[in-house]
Amino acid sequence: MTVTIPSRIRLAPKRALAALLLLSACGAAEPPVPTPVFRTVGTPIASSLRGSASDLNGDWIVAAAYPGGPVAPGDRVTLRLDASGGGVARIAGAGEARLVPVTAEGRGRFDIGGEPWWLLWTDDDFRTAVIGAPGGEYGWIMDRPGQAGADRARAAREMLDFNGYDTDALKTAREG
């Protein structure tokens, strides 16, 4: 006995295979975009803290920052820390504000909202500070409102350079 299969049924497996191929192409994940790094890998980096963490309390304005980090030039950072470095940070910019928990991770080292913030330098009066990520993914210079100074801005850039950061990649509020 001979069985005849209608042509539309014979095409069904081919259509199913074509559909599977199309679906598999749609599901292919794009490779992740690499995170830019603004510091030379292998360059030593050190955190620093003169006084106690609570000396950082109050308002700060981000004067310069690397693109793509947790803050941008012109953002306002308000810190409320106890002497050991625990507390909260309020970051305001681009029309929004967020509160993030702060945990001390060592002298001049903080975990803020799951990201490492290392204090690389501050002047003696806590008017200008440099924050960086040990991996070099971000960093910035911040000043107390109305307290920016050319000498401290130069010193802050020198500290970023000393810690292996590419200071040419910093953006200021004027540059965007």
Kindly report, residue by residue over 13-45, the tens digit of the pLDDT: 667 666 655 556 565 577 787 889 999 989 999
Whole-model pTM: value is: 0.81
Q: At 16, which helix (H) or strand (E)?
A: helix 7-26
- 3-state SS assignment for residue 158: helix
For residue range 74-84, list pLDDT tens digits in order: 999 999 999 99
Closest CA to 123 of 50, 67, 69, 18: 50
Structure tokens at 55: 């000396």
- Token couple for 135: 């991996």
- CB proximity list for 152: less than 8 A, separation 6 or greater: 123, 127, 128, 143
Least confident of 3-7, 34-38, 81-85, 124-128: 3-7
CATH for 53-172 (3.30.310.50, 2.40.128.20, 1.10.3720.10, 3.30.930.10) = 2.40.128.20
